[in-house]
Amino acid sequence: MTDFHPETMSVHAGCEPDPATNARITPIYQTASYVFDDAEHAAKLFSLQEFGNIYTRIMNPTNDALEKKVTALEGGVGALGVASGHAAQLIAFHTLMEPGCNIVAAKKLYGGSLNQMGEAFKKFGWETRFVDADDPANVAAAIDEKTRVVFIESLANPGGVVTDIQAIADAAHAGGVPLIVDNTMATPALCRPFEHGADIVVHSTTKFLNGHGNAIGGVIVDSGKFDWKAQGDKYPSLTQPNGSYHGAVLADALEPIGPIAFIIGCRVLGLRDLGPAMAPMNAFLALTGMETLHLRMEKHCSNALALAEWLKEQPQVEWVSYAGLADDPYNPLAQKYLGGQGGAVFTFGLKGGYDAGVKLVSGVNLFSHLANIGDTRSLIIHPASTTHSQLSEEELLSAGAGPDVVRVSVGIEHIEDIKADLAQALSAL
């Protein structure tokens, strides 16, 4: 499916007519397990001599269709669908990390990822070093012999920040580690991180890929480009004998099939043992949503740009941070990595600070006040009192979520209706 344009792949990739029934739409394979042909077939599946369906915790045909669609759109060698965006990060890191090792991550990340990496991962003995990734030299300086991975968001949540993917990939590779890019906010419709040096992409499909706010999900995609065996014993899950597969070394055993050791390791070790499987129903909803990804992203971006321009003129608004604006400091990076688009999520600052933020989100009617992004509907939140409330004042500022900040995820409604709703809520401040 890789010879087609992205719009065509969004509709068709992974979604052949069902081989069992000729159903045109990929069915929801609502089954926990699959019957083996015979004992030999079962033994081969369990020893990785053959790939096939065993049990829905580790593979399912509906999920497989979604994995193929995302692989095609990102230009990778394979993908794994999991229960949520956070599960995608957990499984990807679990495959690469060991106790006592560290992650070098950008400071400007989704608040939940700051929590996951900064707090929850400590229990695994993994340290996360958050750096200001606006200067790739900070990433290079933080990498040491215990670093196993660098993590960034292509377009950062909550607001308007575009990351210099190629420069950070170069820094990661100079340090002998892969770069993972969370491409949730940009989606492959705007940005394909593998074309800029990234090695692994993760997504929360909950957001723009699904696009309709009706199912949680996550995907990990492998570029197949990182040479695990060239890094000595840094990545034992992939390059050392594995006790649960009769001492097989994944990177060696899978070499004849292709450079898929990482993504298979995520599936047959991480997902098998930690267990956050994607529900086939949620894969089906993501597949359906993805058919309109490119149409939606065009409308999301044009509405977001029009709204950002309008907000700049409003007397209650102090500043607007949207990389799609020609005079925005991140616009040159948006030109380089996002085709000049700024995505649909951005932040603005209110002159009235924290109290004005709380009042604005209480005064909207068309906008939904909730903790999500990427829906067809316009969404709004005041991060300092919600998603980022766990952070200190200093951390709030460095995450781009200060007390005056409001975040919007601009939907695909008519732009005049979107503006009118914010106009009435702003006038009440």
Ligand X SMILES: Cc1ncc(COP(=O)(O)O)c(C=O)c1O
Helix (H, G, I), strand (E, B) or coil at 286: helix
Interface positions with ligand X (CB under 6 A) = 84-86, 110, 112-113, 153, 157, 182, 184-185, 204, 206, 216, 218, 373
Q: How far is the CB of 334 from ligand X (least distance, A)?
A: 17
Q: How far is the CB of 184 from ligand X (least distance, A)?
A: 4
Helix (H, G, I), strand (E, B) or coil at 408: strand
Q: How far is the CB of 206 from ligand X (least distance, A)?
A: 4
CB burial of 272-308 (b: ≥16 within 10 Å; e: otherwise) equals: beeebbbbbebbbbbbbbbbbbbebbebbbbbbbbbb
Pick 113 or 138: Cβ nearer ligand X: 113
Q: Estimate to the nearest angstrom the gap between the alpha carbon of 221 and the chain centroid.
A: 10
Pick 242 or 409: Cβ nearer ligand X: 409
Which residue of the chain is nearest ligand X when measured via CB?
A: 85
**Chain length of the chain:** 429
Q: How far is the CB of 217 from ligand X (least distance, A)?
A: 7
Write the CB contacts of 375 (distance below 8 Å, at least 6 apart in sequence): 211, 212, 213, 368, 409, 411
Q: Estimate to the nearest angstrom the gap between the alpha carbon of 420 and the chain centroid.
A: 32
Pick 151 or 367: Cβ nearer ligand X: 151
Helices 61-74 and 280-290: crossing angle in degrees, nearest 10, is 40
Pick 303 or 387: Cβ nearer ligand X: 387
Give the Å distances, CA to CA, from 71 to 25, 78, 206: 19, 6, 17
Q: How far is the CB of 218 from ligand X (least distance, A)?
A: 5
Burial class of residue 66 (count of CB atoms within 10 Å of its CB; 0-12, 13-18, 19+):
buried
Pick 177 or 278: Cβ nearer ligand X: 278
Pick 184 or 314: Cβ nearer ligand X: 184
> Cα–Cα distance between 160 and 405 in angstroms, integer?
12
Pick 45 or 304: Cβ nearer ligand X: 304
Pick 29 or 110: Cβ nearer ligand X: 110
Question: What does the block give as tokens for 283?
Answer: 């894969």
Q: How far is the CB of 323 from ligand X (least distance, A)?
A: 15
Give the Å distances, CA to CA, from 389 to 7, 82, 111, 405: 38, 27, 9, 12
Supply φ then ψ for residue 114, to 5 degrees: -60, -40
Burial class of residue 382 (count of CB atoms within 10 Å of its CB; 0-12, 13-18, 19+):
buried
Q: How far is the CB of 117 from ligand X (least distance, A)?
A: 11
Pick 104 or 201: Cβ nearer ligand X: 201
Q: How far is the CB of 112 from ligand X (least distance, A)?
A: 5
Q: How far is the CB of 44 from ligand X (least distance, A)?
A: 34
> Cα–Cα distance between 157 and 110 in angstroms, integer?
5
Supply φ then ψ for residue 144, to 5 degrees: -135, -170
